[in-house]
Amino acid sequence: MPNRATPLRILHLHSTFGTGGKEARAVALMNAFGKGLRHAIVSAEPGATGASAAIDASVEYGFPFGFPPLAGKFSMQRLRKLARAMKDFDLVLTYNWGAMDAAMAHALFAPSMRLPPLVHHEDGFNADEAMRLKPTRNWYRMVALSRASAVVVPSRRLEQVALGTWRQPREKVVRIANGVDTAAYVAAPRPDVLPRVVKHKDEYWVGTMAGLRPVKNLPRLVRAFAPLDELWQLVILGEGPERDAIHAEALRLGVAHRVHMPGHFARPWDAAGLFDIFALSSDSEQFPLSVIEAMAAGVPVAAPAVGDVAEIVAAENAPYIVEAGDEAALSGSLAALAASHSLRRAVGAANRDKARADFDRAGMVAAYARLYARVMGREGFP
């Protein structure tokens, strides 16, 4: 067991460390755990490290130079290199499909190399598996996770996948709901807090916070939003490869003057309260952090019933969660909420109460601390 006077060395192997929900959660945990840990972060997409901007200055972290790439052609030699690179750490944390080769390397070489315990975190699927999981990947996951100490998921849907499709033992699968610092979302935001867009007194905002990726299907949101009155604006916070496609759809529908993409915003607690309606249009989600953030800010949600979204929102919000893929129904939810200020206020208040009761960050941090301590054989973490 490591000396308690020496910082524990934690290796984070991410599919990407860009600006997304799982990265925000990882950073929140790093900040909450504070001193006593030394974090090494590796991204399967080497340039995608934007989430590091939110790591507190007091947290000791770095991006190890020369770490073997997480993605590449399958070979035993490559996996052996990945395994060797894990030896100098006390705990290995892998995240999503992009880090599955590292999990496989651990599965193959953990006994012979005496590798540290590994915990895998699964948050969902990209567009290529949004509608149907790939059988070959399912088999690979099943083998790769065979020596993982735990598989952490945020949603009931992913819990079912891990237990059934990936055949992980019940005692190894741990469901921990995502959480936010709900108190941070109480204050009213400044109307000019975002770059390049200001909220005026005589307008209303449909807003979303998402990576601009195909799985988020943001052109669908533009189409669902387009019939709303001219006083309504659509504000999309995020960055990604779909920016041009979103803009093109707004131009095609003649609403480009009402669709704003100011880019990624690192302080969602300062922005979520600007939205009069929060909206999702994704083909696949599991337990989206952005929905919790909107709820904590007292905002009603219009979204497809993907992942656990229908269970996350308050009962009062349930009528505005529609069948996945039903664009007309999503547009109808937006229209119904847009038509009544009192309705938006009542639904938003119910969401805020549920976020405070069920999804505050303190509970999430405590659950992860208990899990990491258990797999390391420690009484506490760090």
Same domain, 194 and 338: yes
- The domain spanning residue 193 has which CATH number? 3.40.50.2000
**154 plus 28 within the same structural domain:** yes
Kindly give, in sequence order, each residue whose CB lies less than 8 Å from that of residue 321, ignoring residues fewer than 6 positions away.
Answer: 301, 302, 303, 304, 305, 309, 310, 313, 333
- Give the max Cα distance, the chain: 67
Q: 218-225 and 243-252 helices cross at what angle (nearest 10)? A: 20
Do 94 and 228 share a domain, yes or no? no
Amino acid at 19: T
**Tens digits of residue pLDDT in 176-216:** 999 999 999 999 999 999 999 999 999 999 999 998 999 99
**Are both 260 and 367 inside the same structural domain?**
no
What pLDDT sits at residue 131? 79
Is residue 206 located within the same domain as residue 82?
A: no
Residues 269-327 have pLDDT tens digits of 999 999 999 999 999 998 999 999 999 999 999 999 999 999 999 999 999 999 999 99
**Does residue 258 lie in a domain region?**
yes
Domain that holds residue 37: 8-179+361-376
Whole-prediction pTM: 0.86
1 pLDDT band, cuts 50/70/90, is very low
Query: In this structure, what token pair is assigned to residue 193?
Result: 């807090």
How many independent structural domains does the chain possess? 2
Same domain, 222 and 256: yes
| Cα 100-113-110 angle, rounded to 5 deg | 40
d(CA 222, CA 369): 40
Domain assignment of residue 198, yes or no: yes
